[in-house]
Amino acid sequence: MTSSARPLLNRRLAEFGTTIFAEMSALATATGSINLGQGFPDTDGPEEIREAAVRALRDGRGNQYPPGPGVPELRTAIAAHQEHRYGLSFDPDREVLVTAGATEAIAASLLALVEPGDEVVALEPYYDSYAASIALAGGTRVPVTLRPDGARDGAAEGNAFRLDLDELRAAVTDRTRLLLINTPHNPTGTVLTREELTAIAALAVERDLLVITDEVYEHLTFGDAGHIPLATLPGMRERTVTIGSAGKTFSFTGWKVGWVTASPELVTAVRSAKQFLTYVASGPFQYAVAEALALPDSYYDAFRADMSAKRDLLADGLVAAGFEVFRPAGTYFVTTDIRPLGESDGFAFCRALPERAGVVAIPNAVFYDHREAGAPFVRFAFCKRIPVLEEAVDRLKKLA
């Protein structure tokens, strides 16, 4: 114990408390509720990939510290995947870095690239670790709020949160160091269009900004929406840090294998921070993820089709239960507006939901600086087995 009145937690972290995901998963366990809060699948990824991890462990591959940048097999597989899917070519030795999940990639990138006082422009609502990592780096976050586009018929594909490109442009100042982009976007499910990405790229080039783009949901887009990596746009290859993760794509969120692809200079910078965070992680899993990335396109197609059906099940169920629904074009989350249920405070709603309906969800307000802008929105995850989603929908219908 310290004898002074000084609080233990430093000022940079004081506002963050416990992450909402831990809080809500604990609530789900304590109340025996269906957990549609924290985004993790309730079934594991492909059996052969699980077996690949077992084989690596048994063969003694990765049981001791793997190389700092990641095992060569995985770096090669990441580069091959970027080339095959997007025509982006990265040198596995100089332009790929394996991290402890996307979370470490985000933290290391911000710690490496942001000076105290630099401004970081981020889309709001934002994934919660962005705010904490910007704060750890001593940066100032400048949120640009995604807003409902007003299609508001509750079921249409078009009912979505969109980025106002003028607001984005206006958020950039002389102190802006970088843009922090996320597409497909958690929690709204928005997938940025080519037009939006082109405008972001033009702004980055014009103002000479770095860009960090979190693309962990790259393989989770639905219907006509397709994922376009920001690094494929003109002028972006050399100024963009692209972040990916095996957690979402292969349904092994506990393995914590993520990665960065970028120019040699950017990768070197990010590695400088990363080496003092974990140094390395997930040895045997790195070999398994290398095999996963080489799965045929049919794996990704089947994964997308499965998640698309689950999206529709949950989105239709939420409409039937009386929510206004923003049917996502990507990710495995549905954002809803609770106002048609006569509610307006997402926090209060989510705290009461286990008792009222035996379901746990996430109040989107935690992802906002402008909390009032996020107050009526609540996020549900659909990366769960069909009977679980059906039971959740049945329970939620009792709210109406």
Q: Which residues bind ligand GLN (CB under 6 A)?
A: 19, 21, 38-39, 186
Instruction: Give least dist CB 307 to ligand GLN, A.
Output: 15
**CA proximity to 45, closest of 223, 342, 252:** 252
Nearer to ligand GLN among residue 171 and residue 318 (C-beta): 318
Amino acid at 151: A
Q: Please work out the total of residues on this chain that contact ligand PMP, with binding judged by CB under 6 A.
A: 15
Which residue minimizes CB distance to ligand PMP? 101
**What one-character DSSP code corresponds to residue 330?**
B
Exposure pattern of 237-272 as b/e (b: 16+ CB <10 Å)? bebbbbbbbbbbbbbbbebbbbbbbbbeebbebbbe
Unique residue bearing structure tokens 């290398």: 290
How far apart (Å, rounded) are the C-alpha atoms in residues 123 and 206?
A: 19
CB 149 within 8 A of CB 143: no
Q: Which of 103, 176, 188, 263 binds ligand PMP (CB under 6 A)?
A: 103
- Closest distance to ligand GLN from the beta carbon of 51 (Å): 26
Question: Under the phi-then-psi rule, with left for phi > 0, alpha for psi from -120 to 50, and beta for the rest, what region is 322?
Answer: left
Give the nearest distance from C-beta 360 to ligand PMP in angstroms. Answer: 17
* Closer Cβ to ligand PMP, 197 or 341, answer by number: 197
Find which of ligand GLN, ligand PMP, none residue 324 binds, CB within 5 to 8 Å per kind: none
Q: Which two tokens stand for residue 262?
A: 């970028």
* Residue nearer to ligand GLN on the CB measure, 186 or 286: 186
Partner residues linked to 27 by β-bridges: none
Q: Per rule CB under 6 A, is residue 214 in the interface with ligand PMP? A: yes
Q: How far apart are CA 202 and CA 173, in angstroms?
A: 15
Which of ligand GLN, ligand PMP, none is residue 258 near (CB under 5 to 8 Å by kind)? Answer: ligand PMP
Query: Binding marks (x or -) toward ligand PMP, 249..268, rule CB under 6 A?
Result: ----x--x-x----------
In 10 A of CB 328, how many CB atoms?
32
What is the spatial distance between Cα 305 and Cα 319, in angstroms, rounded to a whole number? 21
127 binds ligand PMP (CB under 6 A): yes
- Contacts to ligand PMP by CB under 6 A: 39, 101-103, 127, 182, 186, 214, 216, 245, 247-248, 253, 256, 258
